[in-house]
Amino acid sequence: MTYNPLGKKIEQSKLKEGSTSWKSPSNIALVKYWGKHGNQLPRNASISFTLDTAHTQTEIKFYPKEDNELIEMEFFFEGEKNIAFGTKIRNYLEGNRNYFPWITQLALIISSTNSFPHSSGIASSASSMSALIMCLMDIESQFQGEPLSVKKASFLSRLASGSASRSLYPQLSIWGAHPNIEHSNDLFAISYENQVDSVFADFHDDILIVSAKEKSVSSTAGHKLMEENIYASSRYEQANHHLEELIKAMKKGDLKTFGEIVESEAMTLHALMMCSNPSYILMEPNTLNIIREIRAFRQRTNHPVFFTLDAGPNIHMLYPSDLFDEVVSFTEEYLLAYCLDGKIIRDKVGQGPKKI
């Protein structure tokens, strides 16, 4: 597959000031992307639920400026100028200016807020990068008069953060080439909406916050450690096999197999961290306490309630919507004590980015 959506300059006479604002969700991987190569290419295919509540809202105000080939931008996070994240965005734009040649014709003021608390330990690169890209794509579309391409937005989000490529579509997204999944490819994610049993259309994901500390090892560093991990090649095979089996189970509405695969993916991700060189652990004691409680609850009730983990200590508790009331009581009785200040984000499968 080749896809290289290079951009073009804006016609001088069309330049004018304006603004755009987008809200874009986070996502939770069911089969994990862990290991990459080249320019943000995944070592295996991954699939995720698009979330609803956990999102970033970004606004870009733009003003015409002299095209001196310099990028002019300022970045504000939660109302305050943020140099670290601003530098990350600037580096991204510098490195990818072929896709945004018009970026030097406009001065940008970018402002972002997250729906989840800043220090909740929730991964924000997927929502923040996809929200930023949707704004940039919208500016391009306003000036070029062409409809915004979600495929291009996914491609450009991937270049910013791999998992961000999957936040662009409703319900379910797949990123990474898989021999048995039509249209799947490494360059951009594809939608998998409405292709599985309807029980997953409004699946719940309660994010149990165990710790809000900054991760000791970033995802980018974690991906890099996979290059030397002795289990890497069998992991990539396992992931592709899991994806195929997971999709079959989801099509049938087979929640038991769904849960087995999703939990195995979470455990494998963290096992890979533990056996990296240097080894590291991102789970906390309360991560294990919650896993134990969820498994015990499942055994007691036979209810399909499962967990998964991101690259961090917080638990994503996944279950069908009809169990909501029961899971809320279970959470209050058994899990709340393990959460940092009782913090839980009650999320569910969502519909993808929205223009504000």
Site residues for ligand DP6 per CB under 6 A: 29, 32-34, 40, 46, 123, 125, 161-163, 219-220, 223, 269, 310-311
Question: Which tokens sit at 261?
Answer: 């695969």
d(CA 233, CA 236): 5
Contact of 235 with 241, CB cutoff 8 Å:
no
**Closer residue to ligand DP6, CB minimum distance, 45 or 103:** 45
Contact of 96 with 156, CB cutoff 8 Å:
yes
Give me the residues paired with residue 176 across strands: none
**Closer residue to ligand DP6, CB minimum distance, 33 or 143:** 33
The dihedral through the CA atoms of 95, 96, 100, 101 has a sign that is positive
Contact of 208 with 317, CB cutoff 8 Å:
yes
Amino acid at 279: S
Between vectors from CA 237 to CA 232 and to CA 241, what angle results, nearest 5°? 145
**Nearest approach, Cβ of residue 207 and ligand DP6 (Å):** 13
**Closer residue to ligand DP6, CB minimum distance, 23 or 36:** 36
**Closer residue to ligand DP6, CB minimum distance, 46 or 120:** 46
**Nearest approach, Cβ of residue 300 and ligand DP6 (Å):** 30
**Closer residue to ligand DP6, CB minimum distance, 92 or 102:** 92
Selection from 281, 340, 300, 291 nearest residue 318 by Cα: 291
**Closer residue to ligand DP6, CB minimum distance, 106 or 123:** 123
**Closer residue to ligand DP6, CB minimum distance, 206 or 297:** 206
**Nearest approach, Cβ of residue 111 and ligand DP6 (Å):** 22
**Closer residue to ligand DP6, CB minimum distance, 32 or 204:** 32
Distance of alpha carbon 343 from the chain centroid? 21
d(CA 64, CA 311): 40
**Nearest approach, Cβ of residue 202 and ligand DP6 (Å):** 21
**Closer residue to ligand DP6, CB minimum distance, 10 or 345:** 345
**Nearest approach, Cβ of residue 32 and ligand DP6 (Å):** 4
**Nearest approach, Cβ of residue 165 and ligand DP6 (Å):** 8
| 8-state DSSP, 176 | S
Amino acid at 98: N
Which helix (H) or strand (E) element contains residue 98? none
**Nearest approach, Cβ of residue 243 and ligand DP6 (Å):** 11
d(CA 67, CA 69): 6
Max intra-chain CA distance, the chain? 69
**Nearest approach, Cβ of residue 332 and ligand DP6 (Å):** 28
d(CA 168, CA 171): 10
Q: Can the peptide bond before residue 278 be classed as cis, meaning omega within 30 degrees of 0? A: yes
Distance of alpha carbon 121 from the chain centroid? 14
**Nearest approach, Cβ of residue 163 and ligand DP6 (Å):** 3
Residue pointed to by tokens 């149990």: 208
